[in-house]
Amino acid sequence: MAMNLGSNSQDEPEVMMDVNTTPLIDVMLVLIIMLIITIPAQLHSVNLDMPAATATPPKTDPLVIKIDIDADASMRWNGQVLANRSALEAKLSEAAALQPQPELHIRSHAKAKYEAAAAVLAGAQRAGLTKLGIVGSERFAY
């Protein structure tokens, strides 16, 4: 069939110049359905071991031990000055033997060296203490 460019006669119908997109859309829909069917279901689950709820709250407040580190790296245990690091290690091992374990609140002076605070943290870890807290650090925030 040829394209009629000149006259528009009544005998021949006009040629359509548009692309028939219906089959293309049908094929695309079939491909989308096949893709949806073949994708595996995403069944990801995260198993959590949640602690069992206890009906009674703890009856005693936890024992809190305050360790202060001064600017000259001297340390105080609940306000009492410790002579050296071996005295700190001895106190930490005594605290680790207590049941339940006490909480350690470590407060450092702004001019104290990091080495002194790291020594306290390392000593607490070696002693087996797990309840540690660094208090007073909000004053160092910008």
Task: Compute the distance between CA of residue 83 and CA of residue 90 in angstroms, rounded to an integer.
Answer: 11
User: How many angstroms separate the CA atoms of 124 and 105, rounded?
Assistant: 11
Residue-level pLDDT at 1 = 46
CB atoms within 10 A of CB 68: 20
pTM of model > 0.85 = no
Residue pair 125/95 in contact (Cβ under 8 Å)? The answer is: no
Which tens digit of pLDDT belongs to each residue from 28-82? Answer: 999 999 998 888 777 677 777 777 877 776 677 888 999 999 999 899 999 999 9
Query: Which residue has tokens 């096949």?
Result: 34
